[in-house]
Amino acid sequence: MVQERNDRPFTARSVIASTLLGMSPPRLPTLLLVRSGELFGITAGTTRVALSRMVASGELEADGTGYRLAGRLLDRQARQGASRSAEIRPWDGSWAMAVVADGRRSARERSELRAAMRLLHLAQAREGVWLRPDNLGAGESGEAETVVAAQCRRFRVHPDDEEPRALAGRLWDLGRWAKRAVHLRAEMDGLVGRLETGDTDALAPGFVTSAGVLRHFLADPLLPSSLVPDQWPGGALRADYDRYDRAFKATWREWFREQG
């Protein structure tokens, strides 16, 4: 699954979430979260209402003078970190397979299973059968694992009717992911110089690009290097983002200090 650039205006919730998802630790004072919203023309009152609603929904926890991620958003940050660093194990050629144990499932159960499989980076080979190379660790998706365990039987297999690289190309649209990665690298290249010189006018577009790159990392199937096309841009995207993220956060911190 590859998520394309979302050109709709950021909401207060999405600005708060994206801001904290990019922080380590994921906590900021209320004033700075309010100021972040103002970068996108979101009023202080609207941001404060969104903060209260996110606390009520379990996405944030109030922390004295600020807020920190909680619940699903905290889980998402853990997955985002793993995808950004591309944490994979050496691959021994085996595949993880999940097979639906009972086809009589509700629409909600089917939807929950599809969402869980996305989080676990499994792709649907055919109805009720999901696959991926068995090269990922336990990860931080315990809830997704519980959903899969409730509906599926799990196996480790060695497909013998299709060449592994061809199978990976059939299960994932790797060309589309690569094309989007190249586009994001170009976006970062157009902004990183401005950010490294402290140009605060680059913060708003830089924020949008940063959020897009992090979403794209989550969409990376994290395949073994032997199964991706030649000149795969995953490593280059991550290296570019490391530099970009340092520049963005340095300029953002300086802007924050000026707002304080």
Burial zone of 162 (CB within 10 Å; 0-12 exposed, 13-18 middle, 19+ buried): exposed
Question: Is position 4 within any domain?
Answer: no
Reply yes or no on whether the pLDDT at 244 is more than 60.
yes
Beta bridge partners of 60: 69
For the beta sheet containing 152-157, the strands, ordered from the edge strand earlier in sequence to the opposite edge, are: 123-126, 129-133, 95-100, 152-157
Question: Is position 166 within any domain?
Answer: no
Number of domains in the chain: 3
The answer to whether the beta carbons of residues 59 and 51 sit under 8 Å apart is: no
- Mean pLDDT taken over the chain: 90
Reply yes or no on whether the pLDDT at 6 is more than 70.
no
Burial zone of 172 (CB within 10 Å; 0-12 exposed, 13-18 middle, 19+ buried): buried
Is residue 144 located within the same domain as residue 177? Answer: no
What crossing angle do the helices spanning 71-85 and 234-259 adopt, rounded to 10°?
130
Reply yes or no on whether the pLDDT at 1 is more than 50.
no
DSSP 8-state code for residue 122: -
Which of 80, 73, 56, 79 has its CA nearest to residue 17? 73
152-161 pLDDT, tens digit each: 999 999 988 8
Domain that holds residue 143: 95-157
- Mean pLDDT across the stretch 99-109? 89
Greatest extent of the chain over all pairs of C-alpha atoms, in Å? 63
Q: Could you report how far apart the first and last alpha carbons of the chain are, in Å?
A: 40
Question: Is position 142 within any domain?
Answer: yes
Is residue 231 located within the same domain as residue 181? Answer: yes
41-67 pLDDT, tens digit each: 899 999 999 999 999 999 999 988 999
Is residue 241 located within the same domain as residue 178? Answer: yes
Residue 46 belongs to domain with CATH number: 1.10.10.10
Task: Identify the band that residue 98 occupies on the pLDDT scale cut at 50, 70 and 90.
Answer: very high
- Mean pLDDT across the stretch 76-102? 90
Query: According to the model, what pLDDT value does residue 137 have?
Result: 78
Is residue 187 located within the same domain as residue 252? Answer: yes
Is residue 104 located within the same domain as residue 139? Answer: yes
Is residue 182 located within the same domain as residue 219? Answer: yes
DSSP 8-state code for residue 59: S
Burial zone of 62 (CB within 10 Å; 0-12 exposed, 13-18 middle, 19+ buried): middle
Question: Is position 70 within any domain?
Answer: yes
> What's the pTM value of the predicted model, to 2 decimals?
0.86
Q: Which of 157, 184, 200 is the last residue of a domain?
A: 157
- Alpha-carbon distance of 165 to 54, in angstroms, equals 43
| Contacts with 206 (C-beta within 8 Å, 6 or more apart), sequence order | 191, 194, 195, 244, 248, 251
| Contacts with 170 (C-beta within 8 Å, 6 or more apart), sequence order | 162
Reply yes or no on whether the pLDDT at 104 is more than 90.
no
Is residue 198 located within the same domain as residue 254? Answer: yes
Beta bridge partners of 62: 67
Question: Per the structure block, which two tokens stand in for 34?
Answer: 């309010």
Is residue 190 located within the same domain as residue 246? Answer: yes
126-142 pLDDT, tens digit each: 999 999 999 997 655 67
Question: Is position 33 within any domain?
Answer: yes
